[in-house]
Structures are given as C-alpha cells and as structure tokens.
Amino acid sequence: MPNPKLRRRIASEAARLMFGREEPELSQARRQAARQVCRRELNRRDLPSDREIHDQFHALVREQQGRHQAEQVRAMRVEALRVMEILRPFCPRLVGAALSGYGRGELRIELHVFSDQIEEVVSALEAEGHCCEVGKNHRQRDEPPPPCKIHFRDRFAFELILFPEDQANLPRYGPVTGREVADAGIADIEKMLLQDASLVKTVAPDAGAFSPADRFHLYETLLVPLEEVHENPTYHPEGDALYHSLQVFTLAREELPYDEEFILAALLHDVGKAIDPKDHISAALEALEGYVTPRTAWLIEHHGEALALREGELGIRARRRLEASEDFAELRLLADCDRAGRRRGVPTPDIQEALEYIRDLAEMFEE
C-alpha cells in the first residue's frame, strides 16, 4: 500500500534539489531524493509523481516570491523614513502599501504631509535634489477642492498628499471605504525597522532579495510555473504559457541575437500570468522590479499595447505615446515575435538553455 507521508517527503526533497539547482532534472532529483530520504529500496508506488514534485517546486517558488515582496516592503520603509526625516517639520505620516505590506502593480510610497504652504514642502524636497511635480486639483461644482499631490521618483515612486496644517492630529478617512486611514509617523517606522537587527544590511540602497549574479535564479523561479498556465486555444493553440514564452525567446534571438534586454523581455513578457492572470503585466513588473533594466521593463509593460497596435486596435494617442520612445521599433518587433510564437510542435530550448544564452550575453558585454 502506498505511503503518502513518504511520497510527500521525497517530493519535497526533490523540489528542494531542483530549486537549488543541485539536480535540475526532475527524474534525477526524484532518485536522489529517494536515496536521501529512505536508505532502502523503494517500490514505484512509494515514489512521487511528476505532478507531486512540480506542486512542491511551485510552493517553493511562491515562498521565494513572498520573501522578495517582504524585502521590497522593508526597502520602501527605509526610503520612506529617509524622506520623512527631510519633511519632519510637516508631520509626515506613512500610509498605503509601504505601511501595510500589501499592494499590486508598481508599488509607490505614499505620505501624508501637513502644511498650509505647498511651496515650503516642495522647497524642502528640492533642496535635497528631488525633482517634484505638483498635481493639479480637479473638483466638481460646489465640492471642496481635493488635497494637493506632489510626485517625485527616487529609488521608488513617491506620492505626497498635502493637508492643512491644523489637521495634523485629526483622523483622515478613505474616500472609497469611509474608514479611518491607517498611518505611521517617524517614530513608528523606526520601531518597525529596529525589530530586525539585520535590516540595514539587507535593504541597503541598490540591494535586493537576490544578488545581481542570482537574478537568473529569480527568472527561473518565475518561468517554471508557466508550464501550468493553459490559455484559450483559439488564441494560443501552442499549449502552455512556458512553451509560448520559449518560442517568443527563440524568435527574438533570431531577430536581434546580441540585444540582451530585448531577448530577456521576450522570454519574461508573460511571467505574470502565473501570478495574476487578470493583470499579468503589472504582476510581472512587480516581480521583476530591480532585476531587469528600465528598457526591458518598458518592453514588457507595453507589449500588450504593441499587440493591439499590430491588430489595428490601438488609439491614435496611445500610438503616438509609444512612437515617441526610441525603443518603438523593438517593441513592434517584440509584438511580431509574440504573435508568431504560437505554433504547435516547433522545437524550443528549455529554460536553462535560454537563460544560459542570456547569461553568456551578459558576460560577453561585461554586465
């Protein structure tokens, strides 16, 4: 009779071996895991199936993504604290995703500040080298004007909402939920950061959850789950999203064999479909933030619009916005590869071969 507990232990160990690239091949990982977990000879019924090992592997991927998200939130809090110190005279309060730890898409740092003179807040920021953009107020007739907003970008995007100075100690309520807005001051953020003694080293500026040499490990963990993503066969007759991505990679490599950023965008353009199928582009950009160049991120961000343009379904304003980019030609080429990479039965490299090609490019041009 099969032993479910033993099968789970072997599947878990095999997934760990694959995740750590000690045994990249599934069958070898299963044999090695069986030898490590149980010294005696096992019946075939006690060995986990491919599906069981894949499930354990994907669980490890999700866990790693969760750690990456946690490190990103901590890094945002460090950056928020630095800016809040600049704005200390204006009683800054941290709100939103950087405080709660939850969010989607491109996460930004949101601060509430209190002053009757927006020029004073802007001057304090610009004195520290931040280039600010003040948002315009829009209101309906007979409605009070909404708070002014200040935007700037450093390591992260910042949005500051300005309130009157006399409201600094009053509760604020969300316009949608009507609930009191949760916030945190400088002392609160300092307390959060002090709870982790190793935080300063972990999230120092320009650091990430992976070292630069390990960015390929992140790419692999994002690509593997695509094998389980099956889309509408009317538009994707080729099968799963991983097979599609590898086809697009192959076509991109044939078109621009030495353009690492373009080829990487082709390989990773759909990784968000295993995270959030309803908004796969935002999910991909969130997962890859800090691990791809701005150009690669731009190509991924706009590949859906490029497909719409290819089909004649994109508005003139959106088209002009894309055409203004110096990477417009490559974006159109990516859309062509995306559309052509939907064939059945065509040969493609596996994930390791694709990543090795990109790694070689990076080394060739001394990344």
Q: What is the pLDDT of residue 65?
A: 62
Residue 307 to residue 353: CA distance in whole angstroms: 27
Average pLDDT, the chain: 82
Token look-up 């094998």 returns: 227
The pTM is what? 0.47
Give residue 161's pLDDT band: very low, low, confident or very high (50, 70, 90).
very high
Q: Is the pLDDT of residue 13 over 60?
A: yes
- The partner residues of 157 in beta bridges, in order of sequence, read 108, 153
Which region among 16-20, 90-94, 241-245 has the lowest average model confidence (pLDDT)? 16-20
- DSSP code per residue over 208-229: -SS-GGGHHHHHHHHHGGGGG-
CATH topology of 72-202 equal to that of 212-364? no
Q: What angle do CA 51, 41, 34 make, to 5 degrees?
A: 40
Q: What is the pLDDT of residue 199?
A: 37
- The domain defined by 212-364 folds into Hypothetical protein af1432 (1.10.3210)
Order of strands, edge to edge, in the sheet holding 149-153? 93-95, 108-114, 157-163, 149-153, 133-134
Q: Is the pLDDT of residue 326 over 50?
A: yes
Q: What confidence tens digit (pLDDT) does each residue in 187-212 have? A: 888 887 766 533 333 333 333 333 44
Q: Which comes out higher in pLDDT, residue 106 or 154? A: 154
Nearest CA among 147, 95, 146, 150 for reference residue 120: 150
User: Percent of the chain at pLDDT above 90?
Assistant: 35
Q: Is the pLDDT of residue 146 over 80?
A: no
User: Percent of the chain at pLDDT above 70?
Assistant: 82
Q: What confidence tens digit (pLDDT) does each residue in 283-311 have? A: 899 888 888 999 999 999 999 999 999 88
Give residue 125's pLDDT band: very low, low, confident or very high (50, 70, 90).
very high
Q: Is the pLDDT of residue 140 over 60?
A: no
Q: Is the pLDDT of residue 40 over 60?
A: yes
Q: What is the pLDDT of residue 246?
A: 95
Q: Is the pLDDT of residue 36 over 90?
A: no
Residues 6 or more apart whose CB falls under 8 angstroms from that of 150 comprise 118, 121, 122, 125, 132, 133, 134, 135, 158, 159, 160, 162
Domain ranges of the chain: 4-68, 72-202, 212-364
What average pLDDT score do residues 138-165 get?
78
* Three-state secondary structure call for residue 180: strand
What average pLDDT score do residues 352-360 get?
91
Residue 52 to residue 279: CA distance in whole angstroms: 28
Which region among 21-25, 64-68, 116-120, 362-366 has the lowest average model confidence (pLDDT)? 64-68
CATH number for the domain formed by residue range(s) 72-202: 3.30.460.10
Give residue 102's pLDDT band: very low, low, confident or very high (50, 70, 90).
low
Contact 125, 133 (CB under 8 A): no
Amino acid identity at 201: K
Q: Which comes out higher in pLDDT, residue 337 or 217? A: 337
Residue 195 to residue 206: CA distance in whole angstroms: 22
Q: What is the pLDDT of residue 212?
A: 45
What average pLDDT score do residues 27-53 get?
79
Q: Kind of pairing, strands 108-114 and 157-163?
A: parallel
